[in-house]
Structure 1
Amino acid sequence: MKALVTGGTNGLGLAMASALATAGATVALTGRSGEHANSVAGELPGAFGIELDVRDESSVTRAVDQAWSRLGGIDMLVNNAGIGMRTVNPRFMTHSQAFWEVPADGFRAVIETNLTGYFLVAREVAPRMLAAGGGRIVNISVSESTMQRAGFVPYGPSRAGSESLSRIMAADLRDTGVTVNLLLPGGPTVTGMLPPGTVSEGRRFLESAVMGPPIVWLASDDAAGVHDERIVAVEFERWLRDRNGRR
């Protein structure tokens, strides 16, 4: 398995890149700093880093070209790169900010990264997968409550948009050999998106490693043909048992 993981230098992206690499996949992970991406990738078996700004079309083209060439193709794209509420409200966990208080440039930055970025990378990868005869796209999402939570503009709308995008991508790619699925943690997760000190305040958070088992399974032969599913990581084992029971 040859995988491209965007936003793979920390948080959920790093957890998934690590799980895939440990399971034997060859992984290209991206970050806005190519030097940092290479440094992080150097800690994983058989992985390498690539500079990528998912908001920039030329950067996306260069990065996908590089990943495709070095990997010898891309079997799996994990669309994960994103920014969170801290960019518009550093205290978002304790001090809610109404949507009309959000600066327009902050709104645009989150939408361009979390929604447009998913579109640009998938738009570049999907035709290559189609020409190669198949592939797997996994778009990382969040719980529906996050999409509707007070004070969560623009992060909530950006993730709701990326989920709709994923469903339409799946519809467009049905019966082509290229699959599209959604994967989300299933609760607040320890990542760099949280304000400093949040984890120490007694709240319960998931560890990023919760994403490991489902992403490795989605890369496996058992997941061949699995399409247009919304998989919640904390419920993955039960979901898989139920799925196997229906077969």
Structure 2
Amino acid sequence: MGEDGARADGVRVLVTGGTSGLGAAMAAALLDAGARVAVTGRDGDRARAAAERLGPGAAGIGMDVRDEGSVARGVEETFGVLGGLDVLVNNAGIGMRTVNPRFLSDPQPFWAVSPDGFRDLVATDLTGYFLVAREVVPRLLAAGGGRVVNVSMNHSTMNRRGFVPYGPARAGAEALSRIMAADLTGSPVTVNVLLPGGATATGMIPDDLPAEHRAALLPPEVVAAPIRWLCSPAAAGVHDQRIVATQFADWLAGQVRRR
């Protein structure tokens, strides 16, 4: 457990894109805090293998967030396996290396990006957040409440040279989050945004990144404490907040002082 001391005993959480990277780190942290977690991936076998690695309390579910039929089936399976749902963590995404494997050392201009690559990344990183939330939130409202956490990234990365389409897709997902929060204000469902606060050591980082830069990457576990807290009783009623994991301790202390 982290210094925040948050527990999430019995909380049922769906983490999309939970087979590796930030998703796997959040799933592991939540399981450690007592939650039950379903992790998704496009490949159902890979998702189930990831759940086995995570251990008791984890379930793996095949879900392609680009496709509403797959999302509907995956959410239905999640509710069946977990017996309901309390928190959706929208995390599934693909990175710049899918359109430019050397995007850090050799950034390409937007006009060099293939239309198919652009569409696939936006379909995953932006439309996927919409499709999963669209399927889950009405169920949370019908059940009397729940929470949505949308994973984002630094604002500076959203408009960084050579970051089309990843930057625009994540900027769109953050705007979507704010609108979701506005639409749900006054309801029993909360929406918040969580981001690491810097480049993170995940599969999205290109293989040719120099060792000195790789050493400066944040570990995926940087999101562990804030996601535990966001899924805990302590975060009840917290709504429309943008939480930066590297600044979480100070942010949380400020919340406590204001109460």
Q: TM-score range by the shorter chain?
A: over 0.9
Distance 2:210 2:141 in 1: 43
Distance 1:139 1:23 in 2: 20
Distance 2:86 2:210 in 1: 35
Task: Give the drift of 1:199.
Answer: 6.1
Q: What is the aligned length?
A: 247
Distance 2:35 2:187 in 1: 23
Q: Deviations over 1:138-190 (max 9, x none)?
A: 00000001101010000000000000000000000111100000000000000
Distance 1:103 1:71 in 2: 40
Distance 2:61 2:250 in 1: 35
Are 2:162 and 1:162 equivalent residues in the alignment?
no
Q: 1:199 to 1:42 in 2, by over 3 A?
A: farther
Q: 1:199 to 1:74 in 2, by over 3 A?
A: farther
SS at match of 2:200: coil
Distance 1:132 1:244 in 2: 29
Q: Deviations over 1:195-214 (max 9, x none)?
A: 11426243411000001000
- Tell me if the contact between 1:3 and 1:78 (Cα under 8 Å) persists in the aligned partners: yes
Map of 1:232 onto structure 2: 244
- Tell me if the contact between 1:199 and 1:205 (Cα under 8 Å) persists in the aligned partners: no
Are 2:230 and 1:213 equivalent residues in the alignment?
no
Q: Deviations over 1:55-78 (max 9, x none)?
A: 011000000000011111110000
Map of 1:184 onto structure 2: 195
Map of 1:86 onto structure 2: 97
Distance 1:74 1:170 in 2: 19
- Tell me if the contact between 1:141 and 1:184 (Cα under 8 Å) persists in the aligned partners: yes
Map of 2:24 onto structure 1: 14
Q: TM-score, normalised by structure 2?
A: 0.94
* Aligned-residue identity in percent: 62
Distance 2:63 2:141 in 1: 23
Are 2:33 and 1:23 equivalent residues in the alignment?
yes
Question: Structure 2: any 5+ residue segments left out of the alignment?
Answer: 1-10
Task: Give the drift of 1:97.
Answer: 0.5
Map of 2:50 onto structure 1: 40
Question: Given the alignment, which residue of 143, 147, 163 partners 2:158?
Answer: 147
Counterpart mapping for 1:42-81 below 5 A: 42-44=52-54, 45-81=56-92
- Tell me if the contact between 2:65 and 2:92 (Cα under 8 Å) persists in the aligned partners: yes
Distance 1:71 1:178 in 2: 19
- Tell me if the contact between 1:185 and 1:211 (Cα under 8 Å) persists in the aligned partners: yes
Distance 2:191 2:197 in 1: 19
Distance 2:226 2:99 in 1: 31
Q: TM-score, normalised by structure 1?
A: 0.98
Distance 2:61 2:192 in 1: 24
Are 2:254 and 1:242 equivalent residues in the alignment?
yes
Task: Give the drift of 1:114.
Answer: 0.3
Give the root-mean-square deviation of aligned CA atoms.
0.8
Deviates more, 1:166-175 or 1:37-46: 37-46
**Deviation above 6 Å: which 4+ runs of structure 1?**
none
SS at match of 2:179: helix
Task: Give the drift of 1:80.
Answer: 0.2
Are 2:137 and 1:126 equivalent residues in the alignment?
yes
Q: Which amino acid aligns with 2:167?
A: G
Question: Structure 1: any 5+ residue segments left out of the alignment?
Answer: none
